[in-house]
Structure 1
Amino acid sequence: MARPKKSESPDLSQRVNLTVGAIERMTCPEGKQQAFLRDSEVPGLRVRVTAAGAKSFVYEAKLNRQTVRRTLGDVKLWTIEQARAEARRLAVVMDSGQDPREIERQRLAEREAQRAAERAQAEAEKLAEVTVGEVWTVYLEDRRPFWGERHYADHLKMSKAGGEVAKRGVKLGPDGAKPTTVPGPVFELLSLPLRALTPEKVEAWAATQAQTRPTYARLCWRCLKVFLNWCAEHPTYASLLVTANPAKTKRTREVLGKSAAKDDALQREQLPAWFSAVRQIQNPVIAVCLQVSLLTGARPGEVLTLRWEDVNAQWKGLTIRDKVEGERVIPLTPYVAHLLSGLPRRNEWVFPSFRSLSSDPATIKRREAKHARKGQEAPVGDVVQASASGHLADPSAAHRCACAAAGLEGLTLHGLRRSFASLTEWLEIPSGVVAQIQGHKPSATAEKHYKRRPLDLLRVHHERIEAWILEQAGIHFEASTEAARLRAI
């Protein structure tokens, strides 16, 4: 048989001595997806060409009556001698009864396992250095949907770094500058690695905080215990805790001590002095706010965030934003309605926060002219909004001054809520009625599952409570003549 010309494609049916020229001239026959050119020197070595013209070295042999084919590499990257050496190696492997494909899979699996172990080791080392502050941030974001805004703000406050210029209730220092705020109790722990938060660390922290602010430290300690319980249940952080809950130790509890139950409340005979002092407060918004707090028994925050849309003059009800149930509706009693009818409606809040600029007409006129020159709208009247929220933030200072004038030092805003509950004992009001008005969860089975008091039934008792308190305070009020003053607008 005549040898093919060097310009022709090699005969694929014959074994040939692989050369660069033969590989270059090799083409895939018409109508086929791929074809092979066998090497005459190393049995099993082939060059595969596809219909698209791609060429690669291939090793093919029989193992356990099955054809095993391994692609070695592209002809542009592998030399013929490299391909022959690899083919000889694979031939030795298969002669020993081993499948090179399985060997390769095992090698890849071992390599992947090693990489996974290295990644796990790196992640473990990184996790071991995670700080309490980093986990605290994750904790707050995870629990925020289940908390109220106030509870979330409390957690932010107790972990603040401090160092900010104090805004209120402080005296200027010797250099005439305001002092800065102190860090929150939890801030001291945030820089520690979570794995370093041991019971001894928490005990030392508690001992330090108990010296300056024991009450606040007890609150922060309770929040810290809840945080560490969350860590113990978290799949990522549970392994970092040295104990189930490092903050839950007898020593820490003893260092912080127990909080004494507060008993500040108005007695029946103190009502005239308290009402007289509160009604003399120059700011009518604060004066009304304090009286409403006593006559409704609501929490201070619930009263301060009361909106005008929550006041239903038609059906005589007040919608309270309840931290327990979300919201509750209590009666709008006559005297409370009378007090609210005298308040200005400056914004959406029933108790807005505004401060006086000046009561001098000439000053007000100059200010209006100044705003007119700038093309701005002058503040309404002689007041401007004082708080960022728009509502009264904390009337405690005014209340303390009024209580001092009346000789009732020590009475807090929450003491007014306690006073409402205590004073109802004089009238023998059912405890379930008082609890429903104040927003306490029912404690008895009958209260939980059977008794559902409508607003009208609550109004019977609530108006009786209000009338008795006003009577003891010496305040003459005719409900019938004042009923129509507060109306829906």
Structure 2
Amino acid sequence: MARINFTTGRLTAFSCPPDKAQAFIWDTGVVGLGVRTTPRGAQSYIFQREFQGKSPRITIGAVTDWSISAARERAREMQRDIDQGRDPRLVKAERQAADAAAFNSAKASEATVAEIWKLYLEDRKPLWGVRHHDDHLRLAKAGGEKARRGTRGRGMTIAGPLYSLMGLRLADVTAPIVEGWASKEAKTRQSSARLALRCLKAFLNWCAEHPDYKAQMQPVNPAKTRRTREALGKATAKSDVLLKEQLAAWFEAVRALPSPVMSAYLQVLLLTGARRTEVLDLKWKDVDSRWKSLVIRDKIEGERKIPLTPYVAGLLATLPRLPKNPFVFASTLAKDGRVSDPRAGMQAACKAAKIEDLTPHGLRRSFKSLTEWLEIPAGVVAQIMGHKPSATAEKHYTVRPLDLLRIHHERIEAWMLEQAGIAFRSNSDPAHEG
């Protein structure tokens, strides 16, 4: 191999013949140091010496990035590694890994909660339900966007409870900071702040186990302090429920709502005992008219199948199917194509029926409470509603087929309609009831 004394001028003048893929020149100053060039003119310093019977070629770096003296020094370091019996390729890989770790550590120390929160959501999304993921997005949203409703006349969306923490570095999320945040949020939205705190705890636990962020974490999760818990208080059990004697007034008011979609939605909510968003997310593909079943996407098992009872089937049959809209309770105005907030319709119906403080979730509670009049087995009600089994026998030994659930569910529906004074025949359309 021809050797020359490397100088800037000689390296600049060195080129690769067009008929070759690459060409080399070697330095007289340090044995093993060379420069490789390609027909396009890209030049790199390389080091090549025999090691354990082979002559590995190791790239040092681009000629434009390294001075001749620095390249010679790196070549000498590699020769010393060989003299000491160490593979310079492994040494280089270890150095690169250490440099990358140091860079990541420095970058992580400056990362904001918002940046890490985004990575956290991406990592956990496959393990979460859609609603849980959306809750995390909502809790950290910035707000300040124009909105037509839900802002109490302010005309702008409100920042989520966790948004004020998003701009902090992870190392700056300390117990006093979280306690101050909790005290402030408790004054205006205590319930939302309690949910935000639970999500924040889980996020910080994830950070404490993540190799890139655990160094920035406090010794103890800063969201787990007594002062924070006391500031937000404990959630109180809600008791809003429809009484048996209120069914007639409630059904009359709901059926009189100007929106047939909202009217049907609220009735289905009561007659299935499903969660508010489970019914909102119902799609036409989930409705099996032939085998009389509904597939409910729930947060416990992922999905459950319940009977499609006669009156509910009649309600759904009257609803329009919008082109390219898969939702049963569709909306042409809502961003996601379905009814988004049933509270206005619920409040209007309750006001007309003179029933106070009843929420959409109260209808789910009402379903469970009203079945007590019929002495329906608790396991049947739990399976229809999507509650976790509460006993060993329920968990491991009781498997109820859809037809068995149907017997009880149709009985529940018929009884509620009877109490409401609705004369309904299973083969009739709700629009033609007496």
Alignment TM-score > 0.5, same fold: yes
Q: Please state if 1:346 is matched with 2:293.
A: no
Q: Distance in 2 between matches of 1:440 and 1:466?
A: 19
> Which residue in 1 is equivalent to 2:169?
193
In the alignment, residue 281 of structure 2 is paired with which amino acid? Answer: T
2: CA distance between counterparts of 1:295 and 1:107? 73
Match status 1:163 vs 2:144: yes
TM-aligned CA distance change 1:450 to 1:393, over 3 Å: same
CA distance in 2, matches of 1:290, 1:142: 36
2:415 counterpart residue number:
468
SS in 2 for 1:212: coil
Contact 1:271 1:473 in 2 (8 A): yes
Q: Equivalents in 1 of 2:375, 2:185: separation in Å?
A: 44
Distance 1:345 1:448 in 2: 38
Match of 2:382 among 432, 435, 450: 435
Letter of the 2:291 partner, please give it.
Answer: W
Determine the structure 1 residue equivalent to 2:210.
234
After the TM superposition, which residues 39-118 of structure 1 pair with which residues of structure 2 at under 5 Å, given as runs? 102=83
Matched, 1:399 2:380: no
1:301 to 270, 273, 277: 277
Q: Distance in 2 between matches of 1:302 and 1:285?
A: 15
The equivalent residue for 1:456 is 403
Residue 130 and residue 469 in structure 1: after superposition, are their counterparts in 2 closer, same or farther (change >3 A)?
same
* Residue from 334, 347, 350 that aligns with 1:387: 334
Aligned to 2:135: 154
Given that 1:232 and 1:244 are in contact with CA atoms closer than 8 Å, whether structure 2 keeps it comes out as no
Describe the shift of the 1:473–1:101 C-alpha distance in structure 2 as closer, same or farther (beyond 3 A).
Answer: closer
Say yes or no: does 1:220 pair with 2:196: yes
Q: Take 1:456 and 1:327, find their aligned partners in 2: how far apart are those partners?
A: 18
Q: Secondary structure at the match of 2:295?
A: strand
Q: Give the letter aligned to residue 398 of structure 1.
A: G
Deviation at 1:112, TM superposition (A): 9.9
Match of 1:413 in 2: 360
Alpha-carbon distance, 1:302 to partner: 1.4
Q: Displacement of 1:146 after TM fit?
A: 0.9
Match of 1:313 in 2: 289
Q: Which residue of 1 aligns with 2:232?
A: 256
* Alpha-carbon distance between aligned partners in 2 of 1:219 and 1:284, rounded to the nearest angstrom: 33
1:128 to 109, 118, 129: 109
Q: Which has the larger radius of gyration?
A: 1
| Residue equivalent to 2:222 | 246
* Aligned residues of 1:317 and 1:331 also touching (Cα < 8 A): yes
Paired residue secondary structure (1:479): coil
1:56–1:203 CA distance, 2 compared to 1 (3 A): closer
Opposite residue 352 of structure 1, the aligned amino acid is A
**Corresponding residue pairs, total:** 358
Question: Which consecutive segments of 4 or more residues in structure 1 shift more than 4 A?
Answer: 52-59, 103-123, 480-483
User: CA, structure 1 residues 471+246, in 2 after alignment: closer, same or farther (shift >3 Å)?
Assistant: same
Q: What's the Cα RMSD here?
A: 3.1
Report the alpha carbon displacement of residue 140 of structure 1 after superposing the two structures with TM. 0.8
Partner amino acid for 2:117?
Answer: W
Query: What is the CA-CA distance between 1:113 and the residue it aligns to?
Result: 8.8
Whether the 8 Å contact between 1:229 and 1:244 is mirrored in structure 2 is: no
Return the alpha-carbon distance in structure 2 between the equivalents of residues 449 and 169 of structure 1.
45
- Asked if 1:478 corresponds to 2:429, the answer is no
Verify the 8 A CA contact 2:104 2:212 in the aligned structure 1: no
8 Å CA contact retained: 2:201, 2:221: yes
1:130 CA drift (Å): 2.1
Displacement after TM superposition at 1:165 (Å): 1.1
Return the offset for 1:58.
Answer: 9.6
Please tell me whether the aligned partners of residues 130 and 194 of structure 1 are also in contact (alpha carbons under 8 angstroms): yes
Contact 2:105/2:212 (CA < 8 Å) preserved in 1? Answer: no
Structure-to-structure mapping, 1:5-24, within 5 angstroms: none
SS in structure 1 at match of 2:373: helix
Relative to structure 1, is the Cα distance of residues 402 and 238 closer, same or farther in structure 2, using a 3 angstrom cutoff? same
Shift of 1:307: 1.8
Name whichever of 388-397 and 442-451 sits farther off. 388-397
* 1:341 to 1:102, Cα distance in 2 relative to 1, 3 A: closer
Residue aligned with 1:329, SS: strand
Q: TM-score, normalised by structure 1?
A: 0.67
In structure 2, C-alpha distance between the alignment counterparts of 1:427 and 1:419, rounded to whole Å: 13
Quote the offset at 1:390 in angstroms.
2.0
1:418 is matched by which residue type in structure 2?
A: R
What SS does the aligned partner of 1:262 have? coil
| 1:16 counterpart residue number | none
Q: CA contact under 8 A between 1:215 and 1:259: conserved in structure 2? A: yes
Task: Report SS of the residue matched to 2:187.
Answer: helix
Cα deviation digits, residues 283-332 of structure 1 (max 9, x gap):
11111111111011111111112222222121111111222212211111
Deviation track 1:391-414 (CA, whole Å, cap 9, x = no partner) reads: 222221011011011111211111
**Within 2, Cα distance between the matches of 1:203 and 1:468?**
50
1:426 aligns with 2:397: no
Residues 359-378 of structure 1: pairs in structure 2 closer than 5 A:
none
- Do residues 202 (structure 1) and 183 (structure 2) align? no
Contact 1:334–1:482 (CA under 8 A) maintained in structure 2: no
Provide the C-alpha distance between the structure 2 equivalents of 1:157 and 1:342, rounded to a whole number of angstroms.
34
Cα gap change, 1:171/1:57 in structure 2, threshold over 3 Å: closer, same or farther? closer
Task: State the Cα deviation string for residues 340-370 of structure 1 (Å, max 9, x = none).
Answer: 22222224322221xxxxxxxxxxxxxxxxx
Displacement of 1:183 in angstroms is: 1.6
Q: 1:35 is matched with which residue?
A: none
CA distance, structure 1, for counterparts of residue 180 and residue 287 of structure 2: 50
Residues 466 and 120 of structure 1: CA distance in aligned 2, closer, same or farther (over 3 Å):
closer
SS in structure 2 opposite 1:351? coil
Residue type of the alignment partner of 2:165: L
Distance between the aligned counterparts of 2:81 and 2:426, measured in 1? 99
Shift of 1:481: 4.6
Residue 422 of structure 2 is aligned to residue 446 of structure 1: no
